[in-house]
Structure 1
Amino acid sequence: MVTNRRSVADPSTLTGWYKSSYSGGNQGECLEVARGHAAVPVRDSKAADGPAVVFSADGWSSFVTALKGGRLSA
């Protein structure tokens, strides 16, 4: 597996964060994704000032496709 390390100095300064409509509301088990950036930052919705995992656009697309297809295990 090839990975590229990217970082966001302060993810809380990014705009366009959103939660999936499938996230279940306010149960506190949600991820947020920021739109409109060269990379795709993902963070824990409970920790808006915390770190973000940053995917390349292709990496994020592959990750979501794998989730939808049930190809990831815990």
Structure 2
Amino acid sequence: MRDGVWRTSTRSGSEGDCVEVAGFADVIGVRDSKDRQGPVLTFTDSVWSDFVAATRARQLNTRR
């Protein structure tokens, strides 16, 4: 993912409560799909890869 095109997960609900992700030359960008002009969080490739791997393995600590 290195083209800067924003993508929404195919698993996102129809209510629009989701994030969009785009790969750029040196970072991965994440933004709120309801506020596309708002702030963008950026992550290095290695941090993003670790996050995705932890999510797939269901290893995230979810505190409420």
In the superposition, the TM-score normalised over structure 1's length comes to 0.71
Runs of 5+ consecutive residues of structure 2 not aligned to the other structure: none
Matched, 1:47 2:31: no
Runs of 5+ consecutive residues of structure 1 not aligned to the other structure: 1-14
Matches of 1:62 and 1:27 in 2, distance apart? Answer: 28
Q: 1:32: how far off?
A: 0.3
Matches of 2:23 and 2:55 in 1, distance apart? Answer: 19
- Residues 1-74 of structure 1 aligned to structure 2 (within 5 Å): 15-24=4-13, 26-74=14-62
Matches of 1:49 and 1:61 in 2, distance apart? Answer: 25
- What SS does the aligned partner of 2:29 have? strand
Instruction: State percent identity of aligned pairs.
Output: 39
Q: Relative contact order (alpha carbons < 8 A, sep ≥ 6): 1 or 2 greater?
A: 1
Runs of 4+ in 1 over 2 A off after TM superposition: none
Q: 1:37: how far off?
A: 3.0
In the superposition, the TM-score normalised over structure 2's length comes to 0.81
